[in-house]
Structure 1
Amino acid sequence: MMFQYVKLLLYSIFLSCKVYAIPLEDSGDALNLFGLEGLSENYAIGATFIEGDIAVPLKAGRAVYIRSPKWPNGIVPFDIHASYTNDQKSVIRGAMSEIMKSTNNCIRFVERNSSTSVWLRIIPSRGCWSYMGRAKSSGPQDLSLQPTGCVYHQVALHELMHALGFIHEQTRPDRNQYVRIQTENIQSGNEHNFNIFPSTSVSTLNRPYDYGSIMHYRSDAFSSNGLPTIKVITDTDKDWESKMGRGMNLSDQDVEKLKAYYSCS
């Protein structure tokens, strides 16, 4: 049987339930993207990472085929680990609430019950990471928010967006028209985190490049020397350099992409 490559929704989305092959270049633990204090390297049992915080199941150590469909009808059952404090739970629920309100409840996070077959299990593991889309066929699908370092509104939003099916903004095929990757400043061995997907495999949903996306890397992501690894190259957008990856909320384009992907009215 031949595997069909799934189209990745660029703005960070997988377009269907078909299969997409991803080369695994991270091994084991992965560096965090968020530049926050107190973070451990990302770690997941039975998985490795691409682009720093996207967990993918281990498969023969070389490549993995993953399925990343949407959550049916935009409904995401979830539970939050009991060890989080009430304040931390409030932060996580606040991120969920922003997504729900922004989409007029077209996307909904609901407490799982005994009949739930697949649910998002938010756990206090090592680091900040998530699987892509609805990646499991049964049981819990983990999303990690380390209590010291990850439980912030913007980080929870970013990881929930991965769980809804979105990849990082700067992987879109026209990326090089808007930013330049400063390879000389990237930590050795992390260059692959700046790969882009070809236009034959992804769709931009006809949305403009979004420097302000909650899914964009910081300008100093994976920097070896504190200097930028991502430089804005369009004169009209120079002010974005210090803001990329540092937003607190969904951008307008993030909301539009969510609505488009989940067919919200």
Structure 2
Amino acid sequence: MLRYAKLYLCLIFLSCEANAIPLEDSQDVANLFGLKGLSENNAPGATFIEGDIAVPLKNGRTAFIRSPKWPDGTVPIEFDSSYSTEQKNIIIGAMLEIMKNTNNCIRFVWRTTNTPVWLRIHPGQGCWSFMGKTQSSGPQDLSLQIPGCVYHQVALHELIHALGFVHEQTRPDRDQYVRIQTQNIVSGMEHNFDVFSRTDADTLGLVYDYGSIMHYRSDAFSSNGRPTIVPTTSVGKSWESKMGRGEKMSDLDIQKLKKYYSCS
């Protein structure tokens, strides 16, 4: 008998299509990723790095980055009852995109009464997630605030954090691809651009991805509207106005997920 009940997504997902839902022109993706504008991200018993990644207070940055994967790529979930069916459909659409693009190697399933650890998706304060499987028992929170965070690309971004990934611009080799303009960063927010060491983070042997759903916008945490992240390669310069504005996973995002979870 299967340990986890199958997630019959189409019973709740109205169209069974995991297409991105475009943001209205007035929406600022930086707001939606918890970088500015929304209520300040807040998680009981946790602090934050990189804006929207929750870290247990007992852990340091290194302990956090080494959080384990979800066993067998299976992530049990439950929704807070505050979400409407339409809002659940949007979030499930992001799950379907991950499942489809990993050939169901990564699976989201409904939690059961016997599930030891599960992802509890709730409308907390801000848009945020822990990284990887950080709990040994009970619920692990992922917050998608109402209003402000329930968008396909925001849910996708936070779900990928929950699967174990940090932001693209904090990978160990980022200085070969972008320059951080510290003079334009809001005072006190500089730590959000700290780079991980090769000991603490793995690039998985894949190239830097300016188009990643996990990349900051070029003006993230800007104090004056000027860029805080400037691409330094010819390829990157063509991406400057598009960084952090993706509506779906890039090809490299998919490759990274599949490689990290040993998908065939």
Q: Assess same fold via TM > 0.5.
A: yes
Aligned equivalent of 1:35, options 15, 31, 34:
31
Kept in 1: contact 2:211–2:250 (CA 8 A): yes
Deviation at 1:84, TM superposition (A): 0.6
Kept in 2: contact 1:130–1:163 (CA 8 A): yes
Partner of 1:114: 113
Give me the whole-angstrom Cα distance separating, in 1, the residues matched to 2:140 and 2:193. Answer: 26
Task: Kindly provide the CA deviation profile for residues 48-84 of structure 1, in whole angstroms up to 9, marking residues without a partner as x.
Answer: 1011111011139x87844610111000000011111
Give me the whole-angstrom Cα distance separating, in 1, the residues matched to 2:43 and 2:222. Answer: 23
* Identity across the alignment (%): 69
Give me the whole-angstrom Cα distance separating, in 2, the residues matched to 1:236 and 1:164. Answer: 28
**Residue identity in the other structure for 2:173:** D
Give me the whole-angstrom Cα distance separating, in 2, the residues matched to 1:257 and 1:239. Answer: 22
Unaligned runs of 5+ in 1: 1-31
- Number of residue pairs matched by the alignment: 233
Deviation at 1:163, TM superposition (A): 0.3
Partner of 2:249: 250
CA 1:179–1:139: 2 relative to 1, 3 Å: same
Which structure dedicates a bigger proportion of its chain to strand? 1
Tell me the secondary structure at the aligned position of residue 31 of structure 2. Answer: coil
1:228 is aligned to 2:227: yes
Task: Kindly provide the CA deviation profile for residues 212-233 of structure 1, in whole angstroms up to 9, marking residues without a partner as x.
Answer: 0111111111000111100111
Pairing of 1:92-111 with structure 2 (within 5 A) = 92-111=91-110
Partner of 1:264: 263
Partner of 2:47: 48
CA 1:132–1:33: 2 relative to 1, 3 Å: farther
Task: Kindly provide the CA deviation profile for residues 215-255 of structure 1, in whole angstroms up to 9, marking residues without a partner as x.
Answer: 11111110001111001111233120011111000000000
Pairing of 1:166-205 with structure 2 (within 5 A) = 166-205=165-204
Kept in 2: contact 1:56–1:64 (CA 8 A): no
Kept in 2: contact 1:38–1:148 (CA 8 A): no
Q: TM-score, normalised by structure 1?
A: 0.84
Deviation at 1:177, TM superposition (A): 1.2
Task: Kindly provide the CA deviation profile for residues 143-184 of structure 1, in whole angstroms up to 9, marking residues without a partner as x.
Answer: 000011100000000000000000110111211111110111
Pairing of 1:127-206 with structure 2 (within 5 A) = 127-206=126-205
Q: TM-score, normalised by structure 2?
A: 0.84
Tell me the secondary structure at the aligned position of residue 192 of structure 2. Answer: helix
**Residue identity in the other structure for 1:231:** V
Task: Kindly provide the CA deviation profile for residues 105-144 of structure 1, in whole angstroms up to 9, marking residues without a partner as x.
Answer: 0000000011100000001001000001010000000000
Unaligned runs of 5+ in 2: 1-27
Partner of 1:58: 57
Give me the whole-angstrom Cα distance separating, in 1, the residues matched to 2:62 and 2:39. Answer: 25
**Residue identity in the other structure for 2:51:** G
Give me the whole-angstrom Cα distance separating, in 2, the residues matched to 1:53 and 1:63. Answer: 14
Partner of 1:219: 218
Kept in 1: contact 2:77–2:111 (CA 8 A): yes
Kept in 2: contact 1:117–1:138 (CA 8 A): yes
1:73 is aligned to 2:72: yes
Deviation at 1:88, TM superposition (A): 0.6
CA 1:162–1:63: 2 relative to 1, 3 Å: closer
Kept in 1: contact 2:62–2:200 (CA 8 A): no
Tell me the secondary structure at the aligned position of residue 210 of structure 1. Answer: coil
Kept in 2: contact 1:57–1:64 (CA 8 A): no
Kept in 2: contact 1:56–1:131 (CA 8 A): yes
Partner of 2:83: 84
